[in-house]
């Protein structure tokens, strides 16, 4: 356990307060102990991975944060010719390069998406009509009661940008991949990364896409049609490149981002009658229910 950990230093948006307890397990045994500690002390808890796609409020947060990352949970293995097992703490970029170098394709669409394997699986990350859960062969998860469980693909309950885990923590994901040439995989990764570079604001303080795409439409397009690019609340700004991104221009508060989110949601509701649903995860502070 570490004290005074600022989550603003661990999230891509660079906003966030201090959890009442910060736990950084380095093995399944330590993760099991962390969950037992939270149960014993009756602490609500949340799992942190790479810190992307996350808005955390400031101040003292009324829950523990369990950080599943490296060191620990960062092993990659190859149990079968076209199967790769990756720990929840493996950065997605590292996994993609590992697969490319071994001629195993199927995850190239993740190129340029930040975060870790655990976060990508839990959020069913995707792009260009592809979703990470489609490539999952099975998961190893730790139940809240400390039991280690294997969940096979047929039992996964996946939906758009979500995987139902019932409170379990992803420990490892196994992916069923396809043998392909390293040149083809590399070219596809470069193409996806280049398209992301052209369309998304990179190298800035952002949590990625703010809203999920509504059925049959694009949240970014709807927000753009509302003329919201460049709109600011405090130091939070709607990206001038992609209207479904909010950028922390430096010193933005969570309240600035939340007010901007509501302004964006209200504009789309008024013009199109569509209620946008958050894709970014919101961790509230002490004044709101944890």
pTM of the model: 0.92
Bridge-partner residues for 54, per DSSP? 281
Regarding whether 157 and 101 lie in a shared domain, the answer is: yes
Select from 67, 100, 119 the last residue of a domain.
67
DSSP 135: G
Same domain, 112 and 157: yes
CA–CA separation, 212 vs 252, rounded Å? 23
Q: Which of 161, 180, 205, 265 is catalytic?
A: 161
| pLDDT value of position 199 | 86
Q: Please identify, among 158, 185, 212, the residue that sits at the C-terminal boundary of a domain.
A: 185
Question: CA of 57: how far to CAs of 7, 10, 105, 186, 210, in Å?
Answer: 9, 13, 38, 38, 16
Are both 44 and 93 inside the same structural domain?
no
Task: Looking at the structure, tell me whether residues 95 and 29 fall in a common domain.
Answer: no
Residue of 57, 172, 237, 279 with catalytic role: 279
Active site residue 209: yes
Active site residue 226: no
Same domain for 81 and 44, yes or no, is no
What percentage of the chain has pLDDT greater than the value 70? 98
Closest CA to 170 of 249, 105, 285, 90: 90
246-260, pLDDT tens digit by residue? Answer: 999 999 999 999 999
Assigned domain for 84 exists? yes
CATH code, domain carrying 45: 3.30.43.10
3-class secondary-structure state, position 154: helix
- Burial letters for 212-237: b for 16+ Cβ neighbours within 10 Å, e otherwise? bbeeeeebbebbeebebbebebeebb
Omega before residue 196 within 30° of 0, cis: no
Beginning with the edge strand found earlier in the chain, give each strand of the sheet holding 206-209 in spatial order. Answer: 206-209, 245-248, 236-238, 232-233
- Decide if 1 is inside a domain: no
* Residue 12 near residue 203 (C-beta atoms within 8 A): no
Considering only CA atoms, give the Rg of the chain: 19
Please indicate whether residue 279 is annotated as part of the active site: yes
Q: Does a structural domain hold residue 112?
A: yes
- Whether 256 is in a domain gets the answer yes
266 and 229 within one domain: yes
Mean pLDDT over each residue of the chain, to the nearest integer: 94
Q: What is the CATH number of the domain that holds 153?
A: 3.30.465.10
Nearest-5° angle of CA 254, CA 69, CA 55?
Answer: 10
Contact indicator for 228, 238 with CB cutoff of 8 Å = yes
- Annotated catalytic residue: which of 69, 99, 133, 209? 209
CATH code of the domain containing 264: 3.90.78.10
**Same-domain check for residues 222 and 152:** no
> Is residue 242 domain-shared with residue 178, that is, in the same domain?
no
> What band does 2 get if pLDDT is binned at 50, 70 and 90?
low
Regarding whether 84 and 62 lie in a shared domain, the answer is no
Task: Please write the tens of the pLDDT for every residue from 98-147.
Answer: 999 999 999 999 998 999 999 999 999 988 788 999 999 999 999 999 99
Q: Structurally, how many domains does the chain consist of? A: 3
pLDDT computed for residue 4 by the predictor:
78
Domain range for 244 is 203-283
- Split at pLDDT 50, 70, 90, the class of 1 is low
Answer yes or no: are the C-beta atoms of 245 and 239 closer than 8 Å: yes
């Amino acid at each position: 356990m570490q004290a005074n950990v600022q989550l603003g230093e661990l999230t891509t948006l660079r906003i966030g307060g201090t959890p009442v307890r910060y736990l950084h397990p380095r093995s399944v045994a330590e993760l099991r102990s962390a969950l037992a500690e939270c149960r014993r002390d009756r602490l609500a808890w949340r799992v942190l991975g790479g810190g992307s796609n996350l808005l955390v409020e400031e101040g003292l947060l009324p829950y523990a944060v369990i950080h599943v990352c490296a060191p620990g949970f960062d092993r990659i293995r190859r149990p079968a010719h076209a199967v790769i097992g990756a720990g929840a703490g493996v950065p997605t970029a590292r996994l993609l390069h590992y697969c490319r170098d071994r001629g195993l394709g199927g995850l190239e669409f993740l190129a340029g998406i930040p975060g870790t394997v655990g976060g990508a699986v839990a959020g069913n990350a995707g792009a260009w009509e592809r979703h990470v859960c489609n490539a999952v062969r099975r998961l190893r998860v730790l139940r809240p009661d400390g039991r280690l469980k294997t969940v096979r693909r047929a039992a996964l309950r996946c939906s758009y940008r979500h995987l139902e885990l019932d409170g379990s923590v992803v420990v490892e994901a196994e992916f069923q991949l396809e043998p392909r040439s390293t040149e083809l995989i590399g070219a596809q990764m470069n193409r996806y990364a280049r398209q992301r570079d052209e369309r998304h604001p990179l190298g800035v303080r952002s949590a990625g896409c703010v809203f999920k795409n509504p059925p049959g439409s694009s949240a970014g397009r709807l927000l753009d049609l509302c003329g919201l690019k460049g709109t600011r609340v405090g130091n939070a700004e709607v990206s001038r490149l992609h209207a479904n991104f909010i950028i922390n221009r430096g010193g933005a508060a969570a309240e600035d981002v939340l007010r901007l989110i509501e302004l964006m949601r209200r504009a789309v509701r008024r013009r199109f009658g569509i209620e946008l649903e958050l894709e970014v995860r919101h961790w509230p502070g002490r004044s709101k229910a944890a």
